Amino acid sequence: MSRVQTPKTLSAVRHAAPNLTDAVVGLGVALLVLVLAGSRAGARLPWIDHPRPLDVGAVGLVGVVAGALALRRRYPRSVLVILNTVALAWSAAHYPSPLIPLTPLIACYTLAALRGWRWGLAGAAATALTALVAIHLAFGAAVPAGITGNAMWMAITAGAAGTAVGYNRALLVATRAQLVREAQTREEQSRHRVVEERLRIARELHDVLGHTMASISVQAGVGIHLIATRPAQAVEALSTIKHISDQGLTDVKTILGILRADGDEPDQPRAPRGGLDQLDALLDPVRAAGVQPKLNIHHSVRPLPAAVDLAAYRIIQEALTNVVRHAHARTVQLDLRYEPAQLVIQIRDDGPAPGPGHRGTNGKDGHGMSGMRERAVALSGQFTAGPHPDGGFEVRCVIPTPDQAS
């Protein structure tokens, strides 16, 4: 049966790998020191005079080195102190093998890599100073030429290498964190766009279905009333219902097609084609419902940005639908003002003053009011709706068109 690795298990594995590596390094250094010292290889080196044979003390120092190297990543400062101390003791005792005096370089490198350049500089200075003392303890006055400079250079090199490696690791960590943040930001933006698209589709469906069903309801009522007395007009009402239904179905299919689209059909319309050039189609159902519309266009008509054109069309559509369904009005006046930097829309009916919960944002048509307001606000516009001081109900919307400002 396979085991599922939890985050804690994975973290333990990641931490165990370096610790195991350090333990292997410590054990390898210890074995190498013992082999070289036991074979008296150090005695053949010209700068070591009369090396002392290995004893219990030497083996103990080698064991300390192995244990310290195994813990070098956990306690880098303490390990540096321990290894420098061991190097001094090894040199003072004149044990063979020059490997032990070199082990503080590993600790110096580790300290710089893990704690930064300041600690690396301090570690290199301490290691260089320890090396000078160890050299004088081992050789006394007969210090070989160049060995002092080499020891200092190796300490500085170890500290610099550790600093470079530590900086590179920190840069990699910062880069990975930045990539993770950017990926999270892209995911959030993607989710936000999905939510906005769903809201937009919901508004389109609400406006299309609300207008279509309201118009069908009105025409059906007219047909029922006239079917017995004036059959010809009843047939006309039924024809209007068919036309409205066909148009509504087309718009709904277009909206639902957006949900099914996979990007392979670039020519497919992305939304119902509504615009202010189709105002007559909105006014016909109003007339059929017995409400007399009056359209006033101020200033010269000009093409509008597609988003503004569609939003204006839908706002007018929803406002007229509310008039037909709720206002009990005889007339409705629609004013369009094409100002230089904005489009102003005003729809006012002469119906009775609405009561509580009637045509308001909290009433039974509240979603329609909210949808109109959302459309205006999405384009940095303003929207107000409420009873007019002179009677009736007024919807007013201002949508900026900054790219067309003179």
How far, in Å, CA of 147 to CA of 153, rounded?
10
Q: Which of 86, 117, 144 is the last residue of a domain?
A: 144
Q: Which of 100, 122, 144 is the last residue of a domain?
A: 144
Q: Which of 101, 128, 144 is the last residue of a domain?
A: 144
Q: What Rg do the C-alpha atoms of the chain give, in angstroms?
A: 43
Q: Is the pLDDT of residue 210 over 90?
A: no
3-state secondary structure of 264: coil
Q: Averaged over 312-336, what is the pLDDT?
A: 88
- Residue entry with tokens 């301090």: 122
pLDDT tens digits, one per residue of 72-122: 888 999 999 999 999 999 888 888 777 888 889 999 999 999 988 888 899
Which distant-in-sequence residues (6+ apart) come within 8 Å of 329 by Cβ?
291, 323, 349, 350, 351, 392
Parent domain of 362: 291-406
> Within a domain: residue 233?
no
> Within a domain: residue 118?
yes
Lowest mean pLDDT among 67-71, 135-139, 335-339: 135-139
> Within a domain: residue 252?
no
- Residue entry with tokens 């007395």: 229
Lowest mean pLDDT among 32-46, 123-137, 332-346: 32-46
Query: How far is Cα of residue 277 from the mean position of the Cα atoms in its chain?
Result: 40
Q: pLDDT tier at 10 (50, 70, 90 boundaries)?
A: very low
Q: Is the pLDDT of residue 140 over 50?
A: yes
> Within a domain: residue 43?
yes
Q: What is the DSSP letter of 323?
A: I
Q: Averaged over 261-272, what is the pLDDT?
A: 48
> Within a domain: residue 302?
yes
Domain of residue 304, CATH code:
3.30.565.10
Mean residue pLDDT of the chain comes to 79
Q: Which H or E run contains 230?
A: none
How far, in Å, CA of 385 to CA of 369, rounded?
8
Q: Is the pLDDT of residue 355 over 80?
A: no
How far, in Å, CA of 402 to CA of 255, rounded?
28
Look at residue 265 in the predicted model and tell me its pLDDT. 46
Look at residue 406 in the predicted model and tell me its pLDDT. 46
Higher pLDDT, 269 or 333: 333
> Within a domain: residue 162?
no
The segment with the largest mean pLDDT, out of 246-255, 256-265, 377-386, is 377-386
Q: pLDDT tier at 336 (50, 70, 90 boundaries)?
A: very high
How far, in Å, CA of 208 to CA of 313, rounded?
11
Which distant-in-sequence residues (6+ apart) come within 8 Å of 288 by Cβ?
215, 218, 219, 222, 237, 240
Look at residue 176 in the predicted model and tell me its pLDDT. 92
Q: Is the pLDDT of residue 256 over 80?
A: no
Tokens of 386: 């409420």
> Within a domain: residue 100?
yes
> Within a domain: residue 71?
yes
Q: Is the pLDDT of residue 192 over 50?
A: yes
Number of domains observed in the structure of the chain:
2
Lowest mean pLDDT among 80-84, 112-116, 248-252, 270-274: 270-274
